[in-house]
Each structure stands twice: as structure tokens, then as C-alpha cells.
């Protein structure tokens, strides 16, 4: 459904832009036709006005505006709605991931009597090691935890229960 909405918004915006461009182009052509011409070589100042072409340009400009403006507005409204929906879904997904990480963290603290290794947390949460380290560093600051680096280079966090 999202793809159909994106396609509809894209087509409406494109069609609206084309119709508005057509309207502006017809108005510019009409304006050019109404400009006075410089006198000719033979001094004949008789003006010729192509009323049929002016009428067609006027109708084209009006129709382009009548159909182009609503099409642009509807396409923009659809695009804005899709943007907001995508933003809300991303925020909901981020909150879900945050709650999931928090539950894994608290479960590991409970199971391991307050000791969490970086490798263990990364394995349980399925996070990359750098992200897991950043998360545990933030939690260590929040809870005033201590950490210890072993001789092998592994990091162990100590959280007081």
C-alpha cells in the first residue's frame, strides 16, 4: 500500500507541475502576442490580432490552472501524509528496539548478579560490538557502574543491585 501511495503522490505532483507549467507557458505566449510590433519597413502600421490563437492560449492557461493546482495540492498532501506516516513508524520501531534492549539489559543484570560482559551483551542483543559498548557505557554512567578490563582485553561491567 505504501508503494501505491508513493506512486500516486509522485504522479500527481508530476502531472500538477506539468499542467501548471503549461498554464504559465500559455500566459507568457499570450503576453508576447499582445505586445505591439515595431512599424514595418514599408511603414504599414496596420495591426493584425489573431483572436483565435489568443482564445486558445487563454483557455489553455485557465485549464492548466484549474486542473494543475488541485493536482499539485492533492499530490503534496499525499506526499506529506506518507512522510509523516514513515516518520511515526520509524519512531515506533526505535522505541520498540529501545525497550527490547532495556529488557535484555535488566535480564542480564538480574541473571549475572550485576556483572555484564561486553561480548555477552552483544551476543544477547545482537548488536555490533561498538554499539553494544556505547549502550553499556551510557548505562554505566546512569547507574554509576564500575568496569574492569581483563588481561585478555574483555570488558566486564559491574552494576550494583
| pLDDT at res. 44 | 62
> pLDDT tens digit string along 95-143?
998 899 999 988 988 888 888 888 888 888 999 989 988 998 888 888 8
Q: Are 64 and 20 in contact (CB under 8 A)?
A: yes
pLDDT of residue 39: 65
- In the chain, where are the structural domains located? 1-97, 112-161
Torsion of CA 25, 27, 28, 32, to 10 degrees: 140
Average pLDDT, the chain: 88
Architecture of the 112-161 domain: Orthogonal Bundle (1.10)
Measured distance CA(93)–CA(57) in Å, rounded: 52
Instruction: Give 36 or 8, the one with higher predicted confidence.
Output: 8
Q: Return all residues near 14 (Cβ < 8 A) that are at least 6 apart.
A: 75
Radius of gyration of the chain (CA): 34
* Sheet of 155-158, strands arranged across: 115-117, 155-158, 146-149
Predicted local distance difference test score (pLDDT) of residue 46: 64
What is d(CA 125, CA 102) in angstroms, rounded to the nearest whole number?
Answer: 10
The DSSP element (H or E) to which 148 belongs, if any, is strand 146-149
Q: How many residues does the chain have?
A: 161
pTM for the full model?
0.63
Angstrom distance (rounded) from CA 19 to CA 60: 9
**Lowest pLDDT segment from 16-20, 22-26, 41-45, 68-72:** 41-45
List, in sequence order, every residue forming a beta bridge with 146; answer none if it has no partner: 158
- With CA atoms as reference, report the closest residue to 15 among 58, 59, 83, 74: 74
Amino acid at each position: 500500500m505504501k508503494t501505491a501511495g508513493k506512486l500516486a503522490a509522485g504522479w500527481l505532483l508530476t502531472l500538477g507541475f506539468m499542467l501548471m507549467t503549461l498554464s504559465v507557458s500559455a500566459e507568457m505566449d499570450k503576453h508576447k502576442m499582445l505586445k505591439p510590433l515595431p512599424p514595418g519597413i514599408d511603414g504599414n502600421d496596420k495591426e493584425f490580432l489573431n483572436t483565435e490563437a489568443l482564445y486558445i492560449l487563454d483557455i489553455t492557461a485557465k485549464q492548466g490552472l484549474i486542473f494543475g493546482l488541485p493536482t499539485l495540492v492533492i499530490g503534496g498532501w499525499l506526499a506529506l501524509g506518507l512522510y509523516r506516516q514513515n516518520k511515526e513508524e520509524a519512531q515506533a520501531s526505535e522505541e520498540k528496539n529501545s525497550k527490547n534492549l532495556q529488557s535484555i539489559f535488566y535480564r542480564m543484570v538480574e541473571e549475572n548478579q550485576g556483572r555484564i560482559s561486553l561480548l555477552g551483551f552483544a551476543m544477547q542483543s545482537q548488536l555490533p560490538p561498538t554499539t553494544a559498548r556505547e549502550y553499556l557505557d551510557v548505562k554505566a554512567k546512569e547507574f554509576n557502574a564500575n568496569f574492569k578490563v581483563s588481561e585478555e582485553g574483555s570488558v566486564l561491567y559491574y552494576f550494583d543491585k
